[in-house]
Amino acid sequence: GFEIQIASTGKIYAVAANETIVTALGKHGIAIATSCEQGICGTCLTTVVDGIPDHRDQFLTEQERCANNQVIACCSRAKSKLLVLDL
């Protein structure tokens, strides 16, 4: 697992191995809009402020993946222990 920090509040939430960023934050009332929930449509695209995403989507280009500043929150995870999102 890893943790998500919400940039606007500073609050940190754990993401367990069996849940996505979207479901983990949803449990705490933080909603990220989704559509396909399969990493294809890009609806859940979220800006990364700090940390390194573990990209599991099919939406971002190779260049966008390497920039480490956006994450597809319905399926991607984190390589770093903490991922700070611009929420």
Residues near ligand FES (CB under 6 A) are 34-37, 39-44, 57, 59, 72, 74
Q: Which residues of 60-79 are buried (b: 16+ CB within 10 A; e: fewer)?
A: beeeebeebebbbbbbbbbe
Residue nearest to ligand FES (CB): 74
How near is the Cβ of 10 to ligand FES at its closest, in Å?
25
Question: Which one, 34 or 70, has the nearer CB to ligand FES?
Answer: 34
Question: Which one, 10 or 60, has the nearer CB to ligand FES?
Answer: 60
According to DSSP, the residues that pair with 15 across neighbouring strands are 2
